[in-house]
Amino acid sequence: MSGLTLIASYPKSGNTWLRAFLASHLRDGRPIDLNADLSEVPNLTSRSLQDCHAGLEHSDLSRQEVALLRPLTSRRIAREQPGFYKTHDSNLVPPGAREPAIPPDAIDRVVCIVRDPRDVAVSAAAHFGWSLDDSVDRMADTAFCIGHSPRRLNANVEQWISSWSAHVESWLDAGGVQLLMLRYEDLLADPLESFTQLCRFLDLDDTRHAVSRSLEESRFSALAGQEARGGFRERSRTSTAPFFRAGKAGEWRTALPAVLAERVVGTHSRVMARVGYG
Amino acid sequence: MALSSSSEIVRRPHPLEAAIGDTRVLLDVEQGLYFGLNGIATSIWQRLEQPVRVSDLCCSLKAEYEGEAARIEAEVLAFLALLDARKLIEIRA
Amino acid sequence: MTDGLLCGWRIRSDIALPELLDWQGDDRIPDLVVRLGEVDERLPEGREISPLLQIDGTGAGLLQVPMVGRFLVRPSGGITIAPQPEASEAEIRLFLLGSVLGMVCHQRALLPLHASSVAIDGGAVAFCGPSGMGKSTLALRFAQHGHSVVSDDICVIETCEPPRVRPCFPRLKLWRDTMEDAALSPEGLERNRRGQEKFHFRAPHAGVREPLPLRAIFLLRRAGSGEGEGIQRLAAPLDIMAALEAETFRLQVGHALGRAETLFQARALIANDVPVYRLTRRADAQPDRWLDAIAATIRG
């Protein structure tokens, strides 16, 4: 395998679950320590990783410079430290840049996880400490980015996310890369089948025994239990709930007011239909 | 190349080297790996500065350190195998 | 414009460098001369060391920051800057006294550590660690308790016995939150970059002119879940060597300039002579809480 193997998703779409699974799976199904072993699938946008490969501090760069630099740094990481990485970057060209942050020639393959945007809205509100209203608005915002906190240093560099629809489509329509799309709902409904598909795509051990063992080690209750006992370092500082909060599909039916659910559908109906959310 | 008492051992060129306290620290710049040698290991490493046959190395160690010849040879071979695995030496003939 | 003092060098510059102390030494020819001028986009026969930096066989380096400008750094000490029209002087100085200074250190076979440092009991104490771990914050808190700031991002070490720190300048780069936590107002201060809530704060005490012996290095890290806070001295030589390597400012530049061996020997010298501690704190630790413990550790 050469280049970057990405676990790409809009925030709060199941990325960490996949990482936890892979963290166990890549170490022969061993139990995982939530605060140590997710580094098996590190965050591509981690500031220290980006600073190290860019040869300077992103905190001294303007947002446009970061956008110009990121593809160059991605190529460098692909060359010098290929492997699995998590990212929330979209596959879009940020303003002022000439190519997406992770250009196709730096990518080996992409696992793209999508989740019903109505559930994402509920989960993102708790994670970022937003109101449900704000959450729905941000998901419609084609200028949405994360990793930028004006008053203090952010642990990540800037990532151009765009709207939920634009984000999802940017990966689904990525040209020139091998791509596997997984729906969060399918992962929940039939984990064995979906994760077997994942392993096959990533050329990892896809035997029933191995996949079940890694699934067991990364089950939701185990991750939530670890977070309850020792915290989780990737939890947002503005969060109003545990990171491992519900882990369910369809929560929006009770948690999202109908008017907001309709607004989500109104904005994202075309892409929702495309990925099978009726 | 198999390692035996008749092998000739040569250091590979240029790991960087410095003494820190009682430890001899080596850095293989290409691999980016550090190695620390203590006590007798340092003394063996120093004797590898010029190409040397394993049997001669053992003799000279026996002259300096008390010990049974067979045991010294076993330990020297084990240490050399370690250095070889880390690509710090080359084994000839 | 009077010449300035930077790490013991006499520096003459076309742009004002208000962070620096005035040169008061002998009438030597300036060691570093900064000029504004044309700089080509490529360094002929330059090798790309990182996305924005090339170095050629003569040891000259070219740094290109898209919206700030190009910096050509010759081993002779000649530095030419071609600024972008929209770049502010603060932005130009940020890179001149940062990345460019790091390159000059490697050209001159000094060891630049990615560290802030302050003067305590006549020696320099350095704080290393990843961005966001509180290097500048600790330096600020010591400054507020009357200690001189010796360096901010780059702690320049001269490898003699004992190793000495060449003072940079008493300027700290601080985020708004850090300043407000320390009851300081960023009002009227220059911004690190336009629109950024990070400011250039000049510490109130007179800067340091002469090199100071390096008294101790603290590696700042965050406590993991369930891990206690504390100060622990590193004992294993290999741990110290690896830590100092990881904290070297622009290590790749040093290697590209053929300094691997000098840097290695510099690390070994420090490992032999200077205590290196790991300072483990929780993310929510009060910055002032560790000042006494740090001072007590140094005084043994």
Q: Between B and C, how many CB-CB pairs are < 8 A?
A: 36
pLDDT of C283: 80
Tens digits of per-residue pLDDT, C177-209? 999 999 999 999 999 998 899 999 998 777 899
How many Å apart are CA C268 and CA C283, to the nearest integer?
Answer: 31
pLDDT of A245: 82
Structural domain boundaries of chain A? 4-274
> Average pLDDT of chain A?
93
Phi-psi region of A113 (alpha: psi -120 to 50; beta: other; left: phi over 0): beta
Domain B8-92 sits in CATH at: 1.10.10.1150
pLDDT of B1: 65
User: What does A117-135 look like in DSSP terms, one character per residue?
Assistant: HHHHHHHHHHHHT--HHHH
User: What does A176-192 look like in DSSP terms, one character per residue?
Assistant: TSEEEEEEHHHHHH-HH
pLDDT of A1: 53
pLDDT of A231: 82
Which residues does chain B have within 8 Å of residue C241's beta carbon, measured at their own beta carbons? 20, 25, 27, 34
Compute the C-alpha angle C248/C253/C256, nearest 5°: 125
The alpha-carbon gap from C2 to the nearest alpha carbon of chain A, in Å, equals 28
Q: What is the mean pLDDT of residues A100-108?
A: 97
CB contact under 8 A, A60 and C132: no
Q: Work out the pLDDT band at B92, boundaries 50, 70, 90.
A: confident
Residues of A with CB under 8 A from a CB of C: 35-36, 47-48, 51, 53-57, 59-62, 64-65, 68-69, 72-73, 76, 150-153, 155, 230-231, 233
The alpha-carbon gap from A233 to the nearest alpha carbon of chain C, in Å, equals 8
Q: Work out the pLDDT band at A97, boundaries 50, 70, 90.
A: very high
User: What does chain C look like in DSSP terms, one character per residue?
Assistant: ---EEETTEEEEESS--TTSEEP-S--PPPSEEEEE----SS-TT-EEEETTEEE-TTS-EEEEETTTEEEEE-TTSEEEEEE-TT--HHHHHHHIIIIIHHHHHHHTT-EEEEEEEEEETTEEEEEE-STTSSHHHHHHHHHHTTPPEEESSEEEEE-SSS-EEEP--SEEEEEHHHHHHTT---TTPEESSTT-SEEEEE-SSPPP-S-EEEEEEEEEEE--TTPPPEEEE---HHHHHHHHHHTBTTHHHHHHTT-HHHHHHHHHHHHHHS-EEEEEE-TT--GGGGHHHHHHHHH-
Asked whether residue B23 carries a pLDDT value surpassing 80, the answer given is yes
Tens digits of per-residue pLDDT, B49-69? 899 999 999 998 888 887 888
Q: Which CATH superfamily is domain A4-274 in?
A: P-loop containing nucleotide triphosphate hydrolases (3.40.50.300)
How many Å apart are CA B60 and CA B80, to the nearest integer?
Answer: 15
Q: Report yes or no on chains A and B touching (3+ CB pairs under 8 A).
A: no
Q: Which residue of C has its CA nearest to B18?
A: C268
Q: What is the mean pLDDT of residues A23-37?
A: 91
Q: Report yes or no on chains A and C touching (3+ CB pairs under 8 A).
A: yes
Tens digits of per-residue pLDDT, A153-209? 888 999 999 999 999 999 999 988 999 999 999 999 999 999 999 999 999 999 999
Which residues of chain C, if any, have pLDDT below 50?
A: none
User: What is the complex's ipTM, to 2 decimals?
Assistant: 0.93
Q: What is the mean pLDDT of residues A19-44?
A: 93
Structural domain boundaries of chain C? 4-100, 112-299
Domain C112-299 sits in CATH at: 3.40.50.300
CB contact under 8 A, C272 and B20: yes
Which residues does chain B have within 8 Å of residue C237's beta carbon, measured at their own beta carbons? 20-21, 23, 25, 36
